[in-house]
Amino acid sequence: MKIFFFTIFAVVCFSSLAQITPFEKSAGKASATYFEVIDWYRQLDKKFASIQMKEMGATDAAYPLHLVMLSSNADFNPANWRAKNKTIILVNNGIHPGEPDGIDASMMLVRDLATNKIKLPENVVLAFIPVYNIGGCLNRNAYTRANQNGPLEYGFRGNSQNLDLNRDFTKNDSREAKSFAQIFHYLKPDIFIDNHVSDGADYQHTMTLITTQYEKLGGELGEWLKSTFEPAIYKTMAAKGWDLIPYVDFESSDFDKGIKMFYDTPRYSSGYTALFQTLSFVPETHMLKPYKERVRSTYDLMVSFIELGSKYNVDIKTQRKKAMAAVMQQYSFPLSWQLDTTASTQIVFKGYESAFSESNATGLQKMYFDHNKPFTRNIKYYNSFKGVNSVTMPWAYIIPHGWYPVVDLLKLNGVVVDELKRDTLIRVNSYRITEYKSSARPYEKHHRNTGVKYETIQDHVKFLKGDFLIFMNQPSNRYIVEMLEPDGDDSFFSWNFFDAILQQKEGYSDYRWEDIAADILKTDKTLFVKLEEKKASDSNFAKNSHAILDFIYKNSAYAEKAFMRYPVYRQEVIALKQNKVTRAQ
């Protein structure tokens, strides 16, 4: 009787102290609701000095975004963490609430760290966003993840604006993205983890992992990640019983052709955070594995990151510091990356053979993965990228008044923005957009601009007092370049921030312009010769009076200067030397 009473007492005490998650109560079948998650962390915050939860910005759902921080000495000041060279790990959960594995795994992990079931190393601090997409988490159902095996209920991919928040890290259409930027630059994490669930082929592995491109992180940091830290992750997960492999992104349905590394442009969380030399990872559990296994593998992977963040603390700090210093000295930046199909390594892939049978749904042939025919093979993994479309960094960018959304986002991301002290004539290079394509269908609220081509114009431009001046001597140089150069993968121009310049505001009537155009040709001999050459080389043009008048207009002083002229100006280093322009402007 005493033994039975002690057992009951122990269980009650443990439940009171440690708390039991909805996931655990359901034997691994259920996921916590948004309100259960927030209440869970509030209770932990009250009980444990090592935990602090705070509100960190707004969301489209009208609920605040929360940040949960863990520090073994109850110091929750990120500036102190950095001063003491602690490894700072930021974990994001529920960006796609239909993929709640990280939400439930983090609840258990934070509790286990607080109760010392797992020891939090002295040189590591943790921060968790419990639920990022709150609107999607509140939109709870059991059907929208048709490919997925559990949990019983889950949230929806779109947020309160029906945005996919993992496409919003540069355009910032959501309040969540703006709040995330505040959190990210507040913490300045060394390691970033964004927990997900995959779609796609069927295979034996429970956990896959996206590691951001090594080359994007730069030189030594990228090489160290590739040669040391990433292999250590795989090794520690294997020791925990998980055959971790890279995210399964096949070149084709033929497994033997290999897997290619995921290309995470800055619109994605890991692509965005990598712009600031943060080691960035996206765990992707396999959709068809039982929910209990997926959550446990996510838990174990986060533990592995904590262990390795402690073990490699000095290396992480040293390599990141060198990478950040190198970016401030870097002169040329690739705006895009291409997979190097000539370089690959070998990985062990555990899959299932594909087969065909009659479909009970359509009565036709269907493809399926035969679990009675598992296989283990060495396959190629393409994980090298080449930088393309490189651009040289100017001494400074200048943005005139009016483009406040762009300037506000630059400031939000830690960019130091100065203002001209007086009206100033400055020699600059600028771009005139000559070609672009806008998508026919909307993508995340935008008709994106791609295939951008431009000509460079060198000119003296009068800028006004208060126009924005961005000097390129900042830790955020890579972010600045990729966002302000119009042909960057996820630049502000690509996301339509500057579309107003693509519409001509003034024009002319042919009957009126005829006489003016004739007078211009009499005085502008250079334009006259240029027009005659154009007629000689293009017979259709020579027969089109409207085209001829338009040609004269566009090459005359009457042409609208703002039309197609990209309103981000480059003050080049050469111009600086010639004009002796100083920061004291």
Q: Is the pLDDT of residue 253 over 60?
A: no
Predicted confidence (pLDDT) per residue in 114-156, tens digit: 999 999 999 999 999 999 999 999 999 999 999 999 999 999 9
User: What six digits make up the tokens of 18?
Assistant: 């440690």
Q: Is the pLDDT of residue 15 over 50?
A: no
Q: CA 236 → CA 119, 230, 301, 316, 585, distances in Å?
A: 16, 10, 9, 17, 55
Q: Is the pLDDT of residue 246 over 90?
A: yes
- pLDDT band for 9, please (50, 70, 90 cuts): very low
Task: Give percent of the chain above pLDDT 70.
Answer: 94
pLDDT at 8: 40
364 contacts: CB under 8 Å, gap ≥ 6? 358
**Which residue did the predictor score with more confidence, 11 or 179?**
179
- pLDDT band for 3, please (50, 70, 90 cuts): very low
pLDDT at 111: 98
Instruction: Please spell the DSSP secondary structure of 286-312, one letter per residue.
Output: -TTS-HHHHHHHHHHHHHHHHHHHHHT
Q: Is the pLDDT of residue 14 over 70?
A: no
pLDDT at 255: 74
pLDDT at 584: 31
User: What six digits make up the tokens of 542?
Assistant: 């020579």
From the number of C-beta atoms within 10 Å of its C-beta (0-12, 13-18, 19+), residue 47 rates as middle
Task: Give the residue-averaged pLDDT of 176-182.
Answer: 98
Q: Is the pLDDT of residue 250 over 60?
A: yes
User: What six digits make up the tokens of 564?
Assistant: 């197609």
Task: Give percent of the chain above pLDDT 90.
Answer: 91
- pLDDT band for 249, please (50, 70, 90 cuts): confident
Q: Is the pLDDT of residue 66 over 70?
A: yes
- pLDDT band for 357, please (50, 70, 90 cuts): very high
Under 8 Å between Cβ of 57 and 64 = yes
pLDDT at 585: 34
pTM beyond 0.85, yes or no: yes
Q: 94-98, 254-258, 460-464: which range is least confident on average?
A: 254-258
Q: What angle do CA 256, 257, 259 make, to 5 degrees?
A: 100
Task: Give the residue-averaged pLDDT of 383-397.
Answer: 96
